[in-house]
A and B are shown apart, each in its own frame.
Chain A
């Protein structure tokens, strides 16, 4: 974004002094801030509380830097936001000055070339050090101002305080370029249809859905974007309204596929709708880059046909659309001893959030073929196949158990009205969770083989006579 022809790079950091300091709130201001500068970024520090505007070469448009800054501040003031604005050669210096600079006026403009002089009187914190230990060490050594640091040699600074300090110093002074990720939100994509005459004719509504989706995808495809999530709203003749949310596993720009997903939910929603429609609208709430793949002229060999992630993505979309996104999931193991908390389900379809591991990227590597086996080796405790049951009861179920010794294994038990005699047992495996998590859990688990050869997972709480059924090795 920075224009190379402009000799002076100028950055303005607007620090807001009100609440609303979270990232989303700041990001929501970005489109509005584009009236001052085309490239606006949100502070990457935690907690984020500033906006960074690249105003290189823009001062002329506002009759000078001072009036630019005044203008920014005045406009923020009109929105009811009090700001501290600093304008300097580098983003780092501007950030430091906006946060810690002494301002006679509510804003500060540092003339070009005087950045270092201005910085030297600022406290260490103005360097944006993310490592709190480093700041503490510097303070313990009596180094409180940036100016004090500048008197040391670079080598000794790096050796004593790590590379971050030097990097931040260089970024503030301008010796090192800092890359700033500006956010430029794409305009919201959507389309709506107002019926001239309210209608409840199915084929008309279907056609309108398709037409709206075609319009949306025509808008998205030139940017190589696809729909990741869309919301479809309607209004009835008598003012009733409703909406459907459709999420996709993988972004799509195919109107036909999207229409199919909408229709799956539409069928259920239509039942509740008693009146003709006057308005239908579809808006894209999350979009993502389309994955382009070259089409193949000839069919691939048989071995490859299993390996088509696009087909799987379409299936996941269809399943999620009809069954709900919480019903089509991927398990994640958690390092947790209590069996019912040892994993978590994550929906496969989820808004704009990118999944960290995409099946397409993983499939190509031949090493993955061996991973299932290596995984079981890495699993916690011995890699015994039948340590955990394949079916776990939703909650433990009390069962009647005959046991010889008070702390011994079970001899027989009654489950679902049937008596099972125990052939052999393994255990006990004690599972004990910490008291700090609220209700602590202490259980002695036994794997039990009945005389019929069926395997069950039973447990007893030590010190109690009651037994519980927790799963079957189906």
Chain B
């Protein structure tokens, strides 16, 4: 269910020529309907929070919905995308069911996962050797209704397989978190949400910029204007800066000083 305010209660998100707002409204309405139809296929529409309210707003359901895939794209090694995905996976497992990590590279380091708050007693690590095995393991795991979440860091997933994975997750109500290289940006996205994680050199904690590239049925350019799906000002334009406290591991959004004022001006006109 949608809890966001109806479009009529808000001013048009950006100033346009006469007639445009009506068209946008129709588009939003149509998107809503489309999404409702898509959701009926899924066994559940239960959402789990990512643990960070601002990050939750990037997701259409206000959190990670069961039966969906979330893609985390990262440009480089050491970007922190896997850590963020792991934390979201940890939260998704709170409803019960173990976390399954598919580690095709053989570099996953469990002591660090333990520090990120993952319960190692309820962690299963799968280490496939080949790309074919990796995709197969991912497909099988997503089909399993007993798991809390599946996390996979992969750069060898093919397009056709990605489509199948979404269907697998839909069928079982599982949650799949895929950490993929940013080079797949241009490929069609079958996941519910595709996020780009870019590290930023910080001064206090660790800084990550999360950009919403796509949600299901929409592309970012359409999303960028409509606060309908994204929510209030902190999440300007589907983009969010997170700071992770080095000591506690808490994730919080960094207030962007310039953006809210600019948005107020533009929307209040």
Contact = CB atoms under 8 A, between A and B. Distances in A.
9 contacts: A303-B96, A306-B97, A311-B144, A375-B120, A376-B114, A385-B245, A386-B244, A390-B109, A391-B109
A196 interface: no
Contacts of B127: 323, 327-329
Interface stretch (B15-23, B129-137, B256-264): B129-137
Contacts of B179: 474
A227 B179 CA distance: 37
A431 interface: no
B58 interface: no
A454 B79 contact: yes
Contacts of B86: 390
A374 to B, nearest CB: 10
B125 A331 contact: yes
A225 interface: no
Nearest to B133: A323
Interface of B: 43-44, 46, 74, 76-83, 86, 90, 94-98, 105-129, 133, 136-137, 140-141, 144-148, 153, 173, 179, 198-202, 206-208, 244-249
Contacts of B129: 323, 327
A369 B201 contact: no
Contacts of B200: 453
Interface of A: 302-316, 318-319, 322-323, 327-333, 339, 342-343, 345, 348, 357, 359, 362-363, 368-369, 371-373, 375-376, 379, 382-394, 423-424, 449-456, 471-474
Given A312-B98, A312-B146, 12 more contacts: A319-B141, A327-B127, A362-B121, A368-B119, A369-B94, A379-B115, A388-B111, A390-B82, A391-B108, A455-B80, A473-B78, A474-B78
Given A343-B110, A384-B115, A473-B78, A311 B125 contact: no
B115 A455 contact: no
A331 B123 contact: yes
Nearest to B199: A453
A455 B199 contact: yes
Classify the secondary structure of A's interface with B: mixed
B199 A323 contact: no
Contacts of A394: 106-107
B111 A318 contact: no
B159 to A, nearest CB: 23
Given A322-B133, A333-B110, A333-B114, A474 B201 contact: no
A305 B145 CA distance: 7
B96 A390 contact: no
B79 A389 contact: no
A60 B207 CA distance: 85
Contacts of A456: 78
A26 to B, nearest CB: 35
A303 B97 CA distance: 11
A451 B199 CA distance: 10
A390 B108 contact: yes
Given A359-B122, A391-B82, A450 B112 contact: no
A387 B96 contact: no
A328 B79 CA distance: 27
A252 to B, nearest CB: 15
Given A333-B114, A376-B117, A385-B115, A453 B146 contact: no
Contact of B206 (A306, A339, A348, A455): A455
Nearest to A415: B77
A88 B158 CA distance: 74
B139 to A, nearest CB: 11
